[in-house]
Amino acid sequence: MKFGVIVFPGSNCDIDCFHAVKDALGRDVEYIWHDDEELDGFDCIILPGGFSYGDYLRCGAVARFSRIMEAVKAHAASGKLVIGICNGFQILTEAGLLPGALVRNKNLKFICDTVPLRVETTDTPFTSLYKKGEIINIPIAHGEGNYVVDEETLRKMKENGQIVFSYVDNPNGSMENIAGVCNEQRNVLGMMPHPERVCEEILGNTDGLRLFESIVTALEGRR
C-alpha cells in the first residue's frame, strides 16, 4: 500500500500530508514532483493545499496543465483513489475530475479557523469510519473556498450522494453549505478543510485521522 503526495510550485501543505500518512497513519508515502509523468505503484494520490503556481491566474488553473495531471486522470480512471485538499480540490475541479468551481469567499477575506463539518455520506472509501450525520471539527485556511455549481449538476450530485461534507455554519458562502464532494464513482474526493492538520492528539483533535484510516480500510478491502 503506497500513498503519493504531489508537489506543485507553491504547495505548502505537502509536508503536512506526508507527515499525516507516514507518522500518524504509519504507511508508505513518497513525494511526487509535478513534472513527473507516471504514477505506477501508487494506490492513493494526494493533491495538497497551498498556492500552486502562486494562484496568479486562478486557483488551480495553471496546475491542471502540469505533466503529472495526465497521470492523475489515468490513475482516477482506473478506479484508484485521489484526494484533493484545499488547493488540491481547486485543481481537481479545474481539471474536470470533480464538478463545480471554487470562487472567492463571500466576505472576500482569507479565513483561517477550525470549523464544524457534517458527514453527509459514509458510502465512500474516504469516509467509511465516520457516522452519517456526525459532526467533526476540521481546520480551514482559504480565500477561495466558496463552492459553486450549476443547478442541474447540483441536483444530480444530490441524487447520487456526491456531497460528502457540509459546513454547519458555512463560513465562505458555498452552495448548499458544501465543504467536500466526490465523483460519481466515489474514488475521487475534493474538500476545502484540512484533515491532515488534525491527525494527532498533540494537536488537540484527531477527527481528520479517520479519513486516512478509511482510505487504508478501503485499500485493504480491495486487496
Question: Is-catalytic flag, 75?
Answer: no
Q: What is the pLDDT of residue 215?
A: 98
Question: pLDDT class for 56, splitting at 50, 70, 90?
Answer: confident
Residue 194 among the catalytic residues: yes
Residues 6 or more apart from 26 whose CB is under 8 A from it?
none
Catalytic residue among 34, 75, 142, 194: 194
Read off the pLDDT band of 118 (50, 70, 90). very high
Domain tally, the chain = 1
Q: What are the distances in angstroms from CA 99 to CA 7, 20, 102, 189, 211?
A: 23, 27, 10, 11, 21
Contacting residues for 18 by C-beta, under 8 A, at least 6 apart: 5, 29, 31
Could you report the per-residue pLDDT of 82-102, keeping only the tens digit for each?
999 999 999 999 999 999 999
Amino acid at 172: N
Catalytic residue selected from 94, 142, 196, 199: 196
Q: In terms of residue numbers, what domain contains 165?
A: 2-222
CB 133 within 8 Å of CB 118: yes
Would residue 94 show up in a list of annotated catalytic residues for this protein?
no
Residue where the block lists cell 483513489: 81
Provide the CATH number for the domain around residue 60.
3.40.50.880
**Choice among 86, 142, 182, 199 that is catalytic:** 86
pTM of the model: 0.97
